[in-house]
Amino acid sequence: MNLSQLANPRILDQPVYEPGKPIEEVAREYGLHLDQICKLASNENPWGASKLAKEAARTSLEKIHLYPDGSGHQLINKLASVHLLGSDQFVLGNGSNEIIELLGHVFLQPGDEVLCGKHAFVVYKLVALLMGAKPVEVEMPELTHDLHKMRQAVNEHTKLIFLPSPNNPTGTANTEEEIHAFVRSLPEHVIFCFDEAYAEYLDHPPDLRPLIEEGRKVICLRTFSKIHGLAALRIGYGYGAKEMIALLQRARQPFNVNAIAQAAALGALEDDIWVTQCRKRNADGLEQLANGLEALEIEYLPSHANFILSKPGDGRGLFTELQKQGIITRALGPSLAPYLRLSVGTEEENHRLLTALEKTRTVFGAQL
């Protein structure tokens, strides 16, 4: 008997998440030096973390022989003061990705259905499959979540709904008014997860705290990987009603968030000026990319996040050609094959990308 015969049958059919290509791999594959690579694939902050976050991380290294605070007491108290909620309304995760998995462990059983947009973050679908639930992907006209269609898809088997806004990979967003109306229309047996990974790029992100106060079954997710620039440390959090958080804490593994990550996150939360600067730089970068794509006559979707979804016609082919020039972007699955996701970089990186796109016109001809 081999190991596959002993494995959980669901694991054998489980799709594997493919992250953006790492710099080191592209350098090896194309014979390039690391400093020749420009990574615009994973929606990271090209300006990095704030000085306060990095200083806090360095200081924490003096105590790396000790286990981290398993409860995340200091960080959770800080988050409570930022969001004006109770400290028992927060759960920390090894990235907000872990909290998506915790939701699966706590609430999903075989026979349950999980609703998400057809062109949303693929991990929602992966977690549903891992737990034996059925992912139901709702069509997204104009690549935007249609909450009316999502409401029509709700039935007696629906257990969990994921809505990211701004959405990855499309960059589209839903308004606070329509989200509130949607959540208030849901039946009692449905849990709503609002993924706010890119919320800090919005001047006025939707506020779902009133829904939590009303007793709605809502969990909101945030991450330090995007505007805070702490992607390598893997730290995120969720907030919701006390009962919701208490259930998630039961499934959370001890010491799931390391001490360096907790320290850096605390430092990041003390630096509002850095966040404001990065938001402004990102807006400028989006404008630079949009203007450049228009000049090249490449279609794109207006974005509310730190990336832009372009439509060159052959996303995978262009992805490969750009890698040869040392530029890593993000090709997407079959349903978005004509598209290529471009993360906002520094002004210099954006210029390099647009220059490479112009050169590549000769390869793709009329498609660009």
Residue range 169-204, pLDDT digits in tens: 999 999 999 999 999 999 999 999 999 999 999 999
Residues 246 and 125 in one domain: yes
C-alpha span between 96 and 238 (Å, rounded): 7
The predicted structure's pLDDT at residue 54: 98
Residues 119 and 261 in one domain: yes
Domain span at 147: 51-269
The predicted structure's pLDDT at residue 20: 83
Instruction: Look at residue 365 and tell me if it is in a domain.
Output: no
Strand partners, 163: 194
Cis preceding-peptide flag for 110 (omega within 30 of 0): no
pTM value is 0.95
**Strands 218-223, 307-311: parallel, antiparallel or unpaired by DSSP?**
unpaired
Residues 168 and 135 in one domain: yes
CATH of the domain at 233: 3.40.640.10
Instruction: Look at residue 201 and tell me if it is in a domain.
Output: yes
CATH of the domain at 278: 3.90.1150.10
Domain boundary among 269, 288, 323: 269
CA distances from 65 to 60, 68, 230, 363 (A): 10, 9, 22, 54
| Residues 330, 322 contacting (CB under 8 angstroms) | no
Residue range 20-73, pLDDT digits in tens: 889 999 999 999 999 999 999 999 999 999 999 999 999 999 999 999 999 999
The predicted structure's pLDDT at residue 363: 59
Residues 23 and 116 in one domain: no
Number of domains observed in the structure of the chain:
2
Residues 244 and 111 in one domain: yes
| For residue 244, pLDDT beyond 70 | yes
| Residues 357, 311 contacting (CB under 8 angstroms) | no
- Token pair recorded at residue 226: 């995007």
% pLDDT > 90, the chain? 92
Residue range 71-97, pLDDT digits in tens: 999 999 999 999 999 999 999 999 999
